[in-house]
Amino acid sequence: MGKLKGMEVSIAIAEAVKLARCDVISAYPITPQTHVVEHLSELVANGELDAEFILVESEHSALSACVGASAAGARTFTSTSAQGLALMHEILFIASGLRLPIVMALANRSLSAPLSIWNDHSDTMAERDCGWIQFFVENGQEACDFTIQAFKIAENPQVSLPVIINFDGFILSHMIEPIELPSQEDVDRFLPPFEPVRKLDVSKPRTIGPVGIPEIYTEAHMAQENAIRQSLEVILTCWNEWERLCGRKYEPVATYGTEDADIVFVAQGALCESIRTTVKKLRGEGEKVGIASIKLWRPFPDLHFLKVIEKARLIIVVDRAISFGGPGGPLASEIKGLLFDKGKNIKVVEFIAGLGGRNVSIGDIEGMYRKAKGILKGEKAKKEGFEIIGLRV
Protein backbone atom coordinates (compact mmCIF):
# COMPACT_ATOMS: atom_id res chain seq x y z
CA MET A 1 0.00 0.00 0.00
CA GLY A 2 1.24 3.43 -0.89
CA LYS A 3 0.61 6.63 1.02
CA LEU A 4 -2.55 8.70 0.89
CA LYS A 5 -1.82 12.17 -0.38
CA GLY A 6 -4.09 15.16 -0.65
CA MET A 7 -4.37 16.10 -4.30
CA GLU A 8 -6.81 17.51 -6.79
CA VAL A 9 -8.65 14.80 -8.71
CA SER A 10 -7.61 16.30 -12.07
CA ILE A 11 -3.97 16.12 -10.98
CA ALA A 12 -4.44 12.49 -9.95
CA ILE A 13 -5.80 11.65 -13.41
CA ALA A 14 -2.82 13.34 -15.07
CA GLU A 15 -0.45 11.45 -12.74
CA ALA A 16 -2.23 8.22 -13.67
CA VAL A 17 -1.63 8.97 -17.35
CA LYS A 18 2.04 9.47 -16.52
CA LEU A 19 2.17 6.19 -14.57
CA ALA A 20 0.63 4.48 -17.61
CA ARG A 21 3.59 5.76 -19.69
CA CYS A 22 1.28 7.30 -22.28
CA ASP A 23 2.97 8.07 -25.63
CA VAL A 24 0.70 10.67 -27.22
CA ILE A 25 -1.73 13.12 -25.65
CA SER A 26 -3.91 15.37 -27.74
CA ALA A 27 -6.38 17.75 -26.16
CA TYR A 28 -7.96 21.17 -26.38
CA PRO A 29 -8.68 23.24 -23.26
CA ILE A 30 -12.24 23.40 -21.92
CA THR A 31 -13.53 24.08 -18.42
CA PRO A 32 -13.60 22.01 -16.18
CA GLN A 33 -11.15 19.61 -17.87
CA THR A 34 -8.30 22.18 -17.97
CA HIS A 35 -6.41 21.08 -14.87
CA VAL A 36 -5.89 17.62 -16.37
CA VAL A 37 -4.25 18.95 -19.52
CA GLU A 38 -2.35 21.69 -17.71
CA HIS A 39 -0.75 19.18 -15.37
CA LEU A 40 0.03 16.83 -18.25
CA SER A 41 1.67 19.74 -20.10
CA GLU A 42 3.82 20.38 -17.04
CA LEU A 43 4.80 16.72 -16.76
CA VAL A 44 5.86 16.71 -20.42
CA ALA A 45 7.63 20.10 -20.12
CA ASN A 46 9.58 18.88 -17.07
CA GLY A 47 10.58 15.67 -18.78
CA GLU A 48 8.70 13.59 -16.19
CA LEU A 49 6.55 12.10 -18.92
CA ASP A 50 8.16 11.19 -22.25
CA ALA A 51 5.20 11.87 -24.52
CA GLU A 52 4.18 14.02 -27.46
CA PHE A 53 1.47 16.50 -26.47
CA ILE A 54 -0.31 17.68 -29.62
CA LEU A 55 -1.80 21.09 -28.85
CA VAL A 56 -4.57 21.04 -31.41
CA GLU A 57 -6.92 23.78 -32.55
CA SER A 58 -10.19 22.02 -31.62
CA GLU A 59 -11.59 18.95 -29.91
CA HIS A 60 -12.49 17.54 -33.31
CA SER A 61 -8.81 17.60 -34.19
CA ALA A 62 -7.86 16.40 -30.68
CA LEU A 63 -9.68 13.15 -31.17
CA SER A 64 -8.67 12.95 -34.84
CA ALA A 65 -5.01 13.22 -33.83
CA CYS A 66 -5.59 10.52 -31.19
CA VAL A 67 -7.04 8.28 -33.89
CA GLY A 68 -3.96 8.82 -36.06
CA ALA A 69 -1.57 8.27 -33.14
CA SER A 70 -3.37 5.18 -31.89
CA ALA A 71 -3.49 3.71 -35.39
CA ALA A 72 0.26 4.30 -35.60
CA GLY A 73 0.72 2.18 -32.46
CA ALA A 74 1.03 4.78 -29.69
CA ARG A 75 -0.66 4.65 -26.28
CA THR A 76 -3.01 7.61 -26.54
CA PHE A 77 -4.97 9.81 -24.14
CA THR A 78 -7.35 12.75 -24.40
CA SER A 79 -9.60 14.65 -22.05
CA THR A 80 -12.56 16.95 -22.62
CA SER A 81 -15.96 18.20 -21.40
CA ALA A 82 -19.44 19.06 -22.69
CA GLN A 83 -19.16 21.14 -25.91
CA GLY A 84 -15.78 19.57 -26.55
CA LEU A 85 -17.26 16.10 -26.44
CA ALA A 86 -20.11 17.24 -28.67
CA LEU A 87 -17.57 18.53 -31.19
CA MET A 88 -15.83 15.14 -31.06
CA HIS A 89 -19.13 13.38 -31.75
CA GLU A 90 -18.34 12.38 -35.33
CA ILE A 91 -14.93 10.97 -34.46
CA LEU A 92 -16.12 9.13 -31.32
CA PHE A 93 -17.95 6.65 -33.51
CA ILE A 94 -15.00 6.31 -35.89
CA ALA A 95 -12.55 5.64 -33.03
CA SER A 96 -14.65 2.75 -31.76
CA GLY A 97 -15.46 1.53 -35.28
CA LEU A 98 -11.76 1.42 -36.11
CA ARG A 99 -11.26 -0.41 -32.77
CA LEU A 100 -8.63 1.99 -31.45
CA PRO A 101 -7.83 1.80 -27.70
CA ILE A 102 -7.86 5.54 -26.94
CA VAL A 103 -8.51 6.55 -23.32
CA MET A 104 -10.54 9.67 -22.49
CA ALA A 105 -11.13 11.32 -19.13
CA LEU A 106 -14.42 13.17 -19.47
CA ALA A 107 -15.08 15.92 -16.91
CA ASN A 108 -18.87 15.83 -17.07
CA ARG A 109 -20.45 19.19 -17.71
CA SER A 110 -23.86 20.29 -18.94
CA LEU A 111 -24.43 21.04 -22.60
CA SER A 112 -25.32 24.53 -23.79
CA ALA A 113 -27.83 26.31 -24.13
CA PRO A 114 -28.07 28.08 -21.81
CA LEU A 115 -24.32 28.02 -21.56
CA SER A 116 -23.27 26.35 -18.35
CA ILE A 117 -19.81 25.29 -17.30
CA TRP A 118 -21.23 23.35 -14.33
CA ASN A 119 -21.78 19.71 -13.76
CA ASP A 120 -24.38 17.24 -14.95
CA HIS A 121 -24.37 14.21 -17.25
CA SER A 122 -25.98 15.66 -20.38
CA ASP A 123 -22.69 15.60 -22.30
CA THR A 124 -21.97 11.92 -21.85
CA MET A 125 -25.59 10.76 -22.17
CA ALA A 126 -25.75 12.36 -25.61
CA GLU A 127 -22.88 10.06 -26.64
CA ARG A 128 -24.22 6.92 -25.00
CA ASP A 129 -24.25 4.93 -28.23
CA CYS A 130 -20.78 5.88 -29.48
CA GLY A 131 -19.39 2.37 -28.95
CA TRP A 132 -16.83 3.29 -26.27
CA ILE A 133 -16.54 1.39 -23.01
CA GLN A 134 -17.87 3.87 -20.43
CA PHE A 135 -17.22 4.11 -16.69
CA PHE A 136 -18.51 6.46 -14.00
CA VAL A 137 -16.36 7.18 -10.96
CA GLU A 138 -17.46 8.45 -7.56
CA ASN A 139 -14.23 9.91 -6.22
CA GLY A 140 -10.63 10.79 -6.95
CA GLN A 141 -9.19 7.42 -6.06
CA GLU A 142 -11.48 5.73 -8.55
CA ALA A 143 -10.68 8.36 -11.18
CA CYS A 144 -6.97 7.63 -10.78
CA ASP A 145 -7.34 3.83 -10.65
CA PHE A 146 -9.82 3.63 -13.55
CA THR A 147 -7.53 5.74 -15.76
CA ILE A 148 -4.69 3.23 -15.41
CA GLN A 149 -7.05 0.26 -15.76
CA ALA A 150 -8.65 1.83 -18.85
CA PHE A 151 -5.44 1.44 -20.89
CA LYS A 152 -5.20 -2.24 -19.97
CA ILE A 153 -8.84 -2.93 -20.81
CA ALA A 154 -8.81 -0.89 -24.03
CA GLU A 155 -5.58 -2.44 -25.31
CA ASN A 156 -6.58 -6.03 -24.57
CA PRO A 157 -6.53 -7.62 -28.07
CA GLN A 158 -9.93 -9.23 -27.39
CA VAL A 159 -11.39 -5.80 -26.66
CA SER A 160 -9.48 -3.22 -28.72
CA LEU A 161 -11.97 -0.46 -28.01
CA PRO A 162 -11.70 3.10 -26.68
CA VAL A 163 -12.68 3.91 -23.09
CA ILE A 164 -14.36 6.94 -21.50
CA ILE A 165 -13.96 7.61 -17.77
CA ASN A 166 -16.73 9.93 -16.62
CA PHE A 167 -15.79 12.10 -13.65
CA ASP A 168 -18.04 14.91 -12.49
CA GLY A 169 -16.84 18.38 -13.48
CA PHE A 170 -15.90 20.64 -10.52
CA ILE A 171 -17.53 18.28 -7.98
CA LEU A 172 -14.65 15.90 -8.66
CA SER A 173 -12.34 17.65 -11.12
CA HIS A 174 -11.54 20.55 -8.78
CA MET A 175 -11.84 18.67 -5.48
CA ILE A 176 -8.82 17.91 -3.32
CA GLU A 177 -9.13 14.41 -1.96
CA PRO A 178 -6.87 11.90 -0.20
CA ILE A 179 -5.59 9.72 -3.05
CA GLU A 180 -3.10 6.89 -3.14
CA LEU A 181 -1.06 6.87 -6.33
CA PRO A 182 0.19 3.37 -7.13
CA SER A 183 3.94 3.00 -7.51
CA GLN A 184 5.51 2.99 -10.98
CA GLU A 185 6.74 -0.58 -10.37
CA ASP A 186 3.20 -1.76 -9.59
CA VAL A 187 1.76 -0.02 -12.63
CA ASP A 188 4.50 -1.43 -14.88
CA ARG A 189 3.70 -4.89 -13.55
CA PHE A 190 -0.02 -4.37 -14.10
CA LEU A 191 0.10 -2.61 -17.46
CA PRO A 192 2.41 -4.07 -20.14
CA PRO A 193 3.57 -1.90 -23.07
CA PHE A 194 0.95 -1.43 -25.81
CA GLU A 195 1.17 -4.14 -28.47
CA PRO A 196 -1.24 -3.03 -31.20
CA VAL A 197 -3.30 -5.69 -32.94
CA ARG A 198 -2.84 -3.76 -36.19
CA LYS A 199 -1.02 -0.54 -36.98
CA LEU A 200 0.22 1.76 -39.71
CA ASP A 201 3.56 0.15 -40.49
CA VAL A 202 5.54 0.54 -43.72
CA SER A 203 6.95 -2.99 -43.38
CA LYS A 204 3.41 -4.40 -43.20
CA PRO A 205 1.14 -2.04 -45.14
CA ARG A 206 -2.50 -2.02 -44.18
CA THR A 207 -5.56 -0.12 -45.33
CA ILE A 208 -7.45 1.15 -42.29
CA GLY A 209 -10.83 2.86 -42.45
CA PRO A 210 -12.01 1.79 -45.90
CA VAL A 211 -15.49 2.09 -47.35
CA GLY A 212 -17.85 -0.55 -45.89
CA ILE A 213 -20.26 -1.75 -48.51
CA PRO A 214 -23.73 -2.98 -47.40
CA GLU A 215 -22.48 -6.59 -47.50
CA ILE A 216 -19.90 -5.76 -44.82
CA TYR A 217 -21.25 -2.92 -42.65
CA THR A 218 -23.70 -5.03 -40.62
CA GLU A 219 -21.09 -7.68 -39.84
CA ALA A 220 -18.57 -5.02 -38.82
CA HIS A 221 -21.09 -3.60 -36.36
CA MET A 222 -21.93 -7.03 -35.02
CA ALA A 223 -18.23 -7.69 -34.42
CA GLN A 224 -18.05 -4.41 -32.52
CA GLU A 225 -21.13 -5.29 -30.47
CA ASN A 226 -19.63 -8.68 -29.60
CA ALA A 227 -16.34 -7.06 -28.62
CA ILE A 228 -17.93 -4.59 -26.22
CA ARG A 229 -20.19 -7.27 -24.66
CA GLN A 230 -17.22 -9.58 -24.19
CA SER A 231 -15.17 -6.78 -22.66
CA LEU A 232 -17.11 -7.33 -19.41
CA GLU A 233 -15.06 -10.44 -18.68
CA VAL A 234 -11.83 -8.56 -19.37
CA ILE A 235 -12.95 -5.72 -17.08
CA LEU A 236 -13.76 -8.16 -14.25
CA THR A 237 -10.39 -9.90 -14.63
CA CYS A 238 -8.66 -6.52 -14.68
CA TRP A 239 -10.41 -5.49 -11.46
CA ASN A 240 -9.41 -8.77 -9.77
CA GLU A 241 -5.82 -8.12 -10.71
CA TRP A 242 -6.08 -4.56 -9.44
CA GLU A 243 -7.46 -5.76 -6.11
CA ARG A 244 -4.48 -8.08 -5.69
CA LEU A 245 -2.16 -5.20 -6.57
CA CYS A 246 -3.67 -2.31 -4.59
CA GLY A 247 -6.25 -3.92 -2.33
CA ARG A 248 -9.08 -1.87 -3.79
CA LYS A 249 -12.06 -3.86 -5.04
CA TYR A 250 -14.25 -2.63 -7.89
CA GLU A 251 -17.52 -3.97 -9.23
CA PRO A 252 -19.70 -3.04 -12.21
CA VAL A 253 -22.46 -2.08 -9.78
CA ALA A 254 -21.19 -0.94 -6.39
CA THR A 255 -23.72 -1.45 -3.62
CA TYR A 256 -24.44 -0.48 -0.06
CA GLY A 257 -27.32 -1.88 1.96
CA THR A 258 -29.02 -3.56 -1.02
CA GLU A 259 -29.05 -7.06 0.54
CA ASP A 260 -32.18 -6.39 2.61
CA ALA A 261 -33.44 -3.16 1.08
CA ASP A 262 -37.05 -2.62 0.01
CA ILE A 263 -36.05 0.58 -1.74
CA VAL A 264 -32.85 0.89 -3.80
CA PHE A 265 -31.40 4.11 -5.18
CA VAL A 266 -29.79 3.81 -8.63
CA ALA A 267 -27.44 6.58 -9.74
CA GLN A 268 -24.05 7.33 -11.30
CA GLY A 269 -20.96 9.33 -10.45
CA ALA A 270 -20.11 11.49 -7.45
CA LEU A 271 -23.76 11.86 -6.48
CA CYS A 272 -23.61 8.25 -5.31
CA GLU A 273 -21.37 9.30 -2.42
CA SER A 274 -24.03 11.73 -1.19
CA ILE A 275 -26.69 9.06 -1.62
CA ARG A 276 -24.56 6.56 0.28
CA THR A 277 -24.22 9.03 3.16
CA THR A 278 -28.00 9.51 3.18
CA VAL A 279 -28.60 5.77 3.00
CA LYS A 280 -26.31 5.24 6.03
CA LYS A 281 -28.26 7.84 7.98
CA LEU A 282 -31.63 6.34 6.99
CA ARG A 283 -30.53 2.81 7.77
CA GLY A 284 -29.44 4.07 11.18
CA GLU A 285 -33.06 5.11 11.64
CA GLY A 286 -34.19 1.60 10.74
CA GLU A 287 -35.13 2.23 7.10
CA LYS A 288 -34.62 -0.64 4.65
CA VAL A 289 -32.86 1.27 1.90
CA GLY A 290 -29.78 0.71 -0.25
CA ILE A 291 -27.88 2.16 -3.20
CA ALA A 292 -26.62 0.70 -6.46
CA SER A 293 -23.98 2.87 -8.11
CA ILE A 294 -23.62 2.06 -11.81
CA LYS A 295 -19.87 2.21 -12.37
CA LEU A 296 -19.86 0.37 -15.67
CA TRP A 297 -22.27 2.06 -18.06
CA ARG A 298 -21.16 0.40 -21.31
CA PRO A 299 -21.29 -2.53 -21.63
CA PHE A 300 -24.27 -2.36 -19.31
CA PRO A 301 -23.85 -5.03 -16.61
CA ASP A 302 -27.40 -6.50 -16.89
CA LEU A 303 -26.85 -9.57 -14.74
CA HIS A 304 -24.95 -7.71 -12.01
CA PHE A 305 -27.65 -5.11 -11.83
CA LEU A 306 -30.54 -7.60 -11.72
CA LYS A 307 -28.83 -9.50 -8.92
CA VAL A 308 -28.40 -6.32 -6.90
CA ILE A 309 -32.08 -5.35 -7.10
CA GLU A 310 -33.37 -8.92 -6.75
CA LYS A 311 -35.12 -8.27 -3.43
CA ALA A 312 -36.06 -4.64 -3.98
CA ARG A 313 -39.73 -3.64 -4.09
CA LEU A 314 -39.07 -0.18 -5.48
CA ILE A 315 -36.22 1.48 -7.32
CA ILE A 316 -35.44 5.19 -7.21
CA VAL A 317 -33.52 6.26 -10.31
CA VAL A 318 -31.73 9.59 -10.06
CA ASP A 319 -30.83 10.92 -13.50
CA ARG A 320 -28.54 13.86 -14.09
CA ALA A 321 -29.73 14.56 -17.63
CA ILE A 322 -33.03 15.01 -19.41
CA SER A 323 -34.09 13.19 -22.54
CA PHE A 324 -36.36 15.95 -23.82
CA GLY A 325 -39.77 14.56 -24.61
CA GLY A 326 -38.57 11.03 -23.92
CA PRO A 327 -39.96 8.34 -21.64
CA GLY A 328 -37.76 9.44 -18.72
CA GLY A 329 -34.15 10.32 -17.95
CA PRO A 330 -31.59 8.28 -19.88
CA LEU A 331 -30.69 6.07 -16.91
CA ALA A 332 -34.33 5.52 -15.88
CA SER A 333 -35.33 4.61 -19.44
CA GLU A 334 -32.64 1.95 -19.56
CA ILE A 335 -33.53 0.54 -16.15
CA LYS A 336 -37.24 0.40 -17.02
CA GLY A 337 -36.43 -1.26 -20.32
CA LEU A 338 -34.28 -3.86 -18.64
CA LEU A 339 -36.87 -4.63 -15.94
CA PHE A 340 -39.63 -4.98 -18.55
CA ASP A 341 -37.43 -7.20 -20.63
CA LYS A 342 -36.78 -9.51 -17.68
CA GLY A 343 -40.43 -9.52 -16.59
CA LYS A 344 -39.63 -7.79 -13.30
CA ASN A 345 -42.60 -5.96 -11.89
CA ILE A 346 -40.73 -3.49 -9.69
CA LYS A 347 -42.00 0.04 -9.25
CA VAL A 348 -39.57 2.66 -10.58
CA VAL A 349 -39.71 6.19 -9.19
CA GLU A 350 -37.80 8.68 -11.31
CA PHE A 351 -36.07 11.87 -10.30
CA ILE A 352 -33.90 14.23 -12.27
CA ALA A 353 -31.51 16.18 -10.10
CA GLY A 354 -28.41 18.33 -10.23
CA LEU A 355 -28.81 19.78 -13.73
CA GLY A 356 -26.29 22.45 -14.74
CA GLY A 357 -24.52 22.39 -11.37
CA ARG A 358 -27.67 22.65 -9.19
CA ASN A 359 -26.69 21.29 -5.77
CA VAL A 360 -28.25 18.05 -4.57
CA SER A 361 -28.29 17.98 -0.77
CA ILE A 362 -28.68 15.12 1.69
CA GLY A 363 -32.08 16.65 2.47
CA ASP A 364 -33.06 16.42 -1.22
CA ILE A 365 -32.08 12.74 -1.28
CA GLU A 366 -33.97 12.07 1.93
CA GLY A 367 -36.98 13.78 0.35
CA MET A 368 -36.76 11.44 -2.65
CA TYR A 369 -36.74 8.49 -0.27
CA ARG A 370 -39.80 9.74 1.68
CA LYS A 371 -41.76 10.21 -1.54
CA ALA A 372 -40.80 6.75 -2.77
CA LYS A 373 -41.71 5.18 0.55
CA GLY A 374 -45.11 6.85 0.37
CA ILE A 375 -45.66 5.42 -3.11
CA LEU A 376 -44.71 1.98 -1.83
CA LYS A 377 -47.36 2.38 0.89
CA GLY A 378 -49.95 3.15 -1.75
CA GLU A 379 -49.85 6.96 -1.84
CA LYS A 380 -50.38 8.39 -5.28
CA ALA A 381 -47.41 10.07 -6.97
CA LYS A 382 -47.92 13.80 -7.55
CA LYS A 383 -47.36 13.40 -11.28
CA GLU A 384 -46.62 10.76 -13.83
CA GLY A 385 -43.08 10.30 -15.10
CA PHE A 386 -40.09 12.01 -13.54
CA GLU A 387 -39.94 14.74 -10.96
CA ILE A 388 -37.23 17.38 -11.11
CA ILE A 389 -35.63 18.00 -7.73
CA GLY A 390 -35.08 21.55 -6.56
CA LEU A 391 -37.05 23.12 -9.42
CA ARG A 392 -38.06 26.68 -8.54
CA VAL A 393 -41.75 27.31 -9.14
> Of residues 25-54, which lie at the interface with other proteins (CB under 8 A)?
26, 50-52, 54
Residue 201 CB, shortest distance to other proteins, in Å, is 6
211 near other proteins, rule: CB under 8 A:
yes
- Write the burial class of residue 235 (CB in 10 Å: 0-12 exposed, 13-18 middle, 19+ buried): buried
Between 219 and 341, CB nearer to other proteins: 219
Give the DSSP letter string of 213-243: -HHHHHHHHHHHHHHHHHHHHHHHHHHHHHH
201 near other proteins, rule: CB under 8 A:
yes
Gap between the terminal Cα atoms of the chain = 51
Q: How far is CA 60 from the centre of its chain?
A: 20
Burial letters for 64-99: b for 16+ Cβ neighbours within 10 Å, e otherwise? bbbbbbbbebbbbbbbbbbbbbbbbeebbebbbbbb
What CA–CA distance (Å, rounded) separates 132 from 350? 26
Binding mask 49-78 for other proteins (x = CB under 8 A): -xxx-xxxxx-xxx-xxxxxxxxxxx-x--
224 near other proteins, rule: CB under 8 A:
no
Residue 205 CB, shortest distance to other proteins, in Å, is 5
Count of positions (residues) in the chain: 393
Residue range at the interface with other proteins (CB under 8 A); choices 19-27, 148-156, 160-168, 352-360: 19-27
Binding mask 82-101 for other proteins (x = CB under 8 A): --------xx--x---x---
Beta strand pairing call for 76-80 and 103-108: parallel
Size of the residue set binding other proteins (CB under 8 A): 44
Q: Say if CB 33 and CB 174 are below 8 A apart.
A: no
Between 67 and 164, CB nearer to other proteins: 67
What CA–CA distance (Å, rounded) separates 154 from 339? 29
Which region holds residue 82: left if phi is over 0, alpha if psi is between -120 and 50, else beta? left
Residue 20 CB, shortest distance to other proteins, in Å, is 14
Q: Out of 46, 114, 185, 207, which residue is the one contacting other proteins (CB under 8 A)? A: 207
Q: Out of 206, 244, 380, 392, which residue is the one contacting other proteins (CB under 8 A)? A: 206
Between 207 and 345, CB nearer to other proteins: 207
Residues making contact with other proteins (CB under 8 A): 23-24, 26, 50-52, 54-58, 60-62, 64-74, 76, 90-91, 94, 98, 193, 200-202, 205-213, 216
